[in-house]
Amino acid sequence: MKRAVYPGTFDPVTYGHLDVIKRGSKIFDELIVAVGHNPFKKPIFTVEERMDMLSKNTREIQNIKVDYFEGMLTDYMGKMQTNIILRGIRTVSDFEYEFQRALTNRVLKTDIETVFIMTSQEYSFLNSSLIKEAVSLGGDISKFVPSDVEKLLRKKLLTQ
């Protein structure tokens, strides 16, 4: 059985993330979507909220498991008994960053393999920071995130 981990912050979950998840689920027997706790990032949603958003928006995909991890991704990979990381690539700058990350992971754990999926063109410009900024300024983000995520974003960013 081929199992892969798609790690990320997912703050918030976007259609770009969901695109990678759906496409990755067709490649692997099981895809673990792993919400990372990164002390260097300042997410607006808790790990539990992010996991809930992912679970709700991937419930129709049978071979998806939503989980979380703290610490090193390579340690989590061992716990999940897989050596395959799935990553989405939007731009050339994403590739440079992800390439460095993939090589670092391979140095930390030599059997780690990273598989890259090009994000679909309609989501290639999306990133969580731009979406949060658009919400804060009253923009319509319905083309970028599912409606439940949009409601949570508006509640979180506009009622503080």
Q: Is the pLDDT of residue 160 over 70?
A: no
pLDDT at 134: 94
Q: Is the pLDDT of residue 97 over 70?
A: yes
Kindly list the domain boundaries of the chain, sorted by start residue: 3-121
Is the Cβ–Cβ distance between 48 and 73 less than 8 Å?
no
pLDDT at 72: 93
Distance in angstroms (rounded) separating the CA atoms of residues 87 and 113? 11
- The pTM for the full model equals 0.94
Is the Cβ–Cβ distance between 126 and 30 less than 8 Å?
no
The beta-strand segments (E) located in the chain are: 3-8, 30-37, 64-70, 84-89, 113-118
For the four alpha carbons of 101, 102, 104 and 109, in that order, the dihedral sign comes to positive
Annotated catalytic residue 42: no
pLDDT per residue as tens digits for the range 133-152:
999 999 999 999 999 999 99
Annotated catalytic residue 41: yes
Active-site residue identified among 2, 41, 56, 59: 41
Q: Give the rounded percent of residues in the chain with a pLDDT score beyond 70.
A: 99
State the average pLDDT over residues 2-8.
97
Q: What is the CATH number of domain 3-121?
A: 3.40.50.620
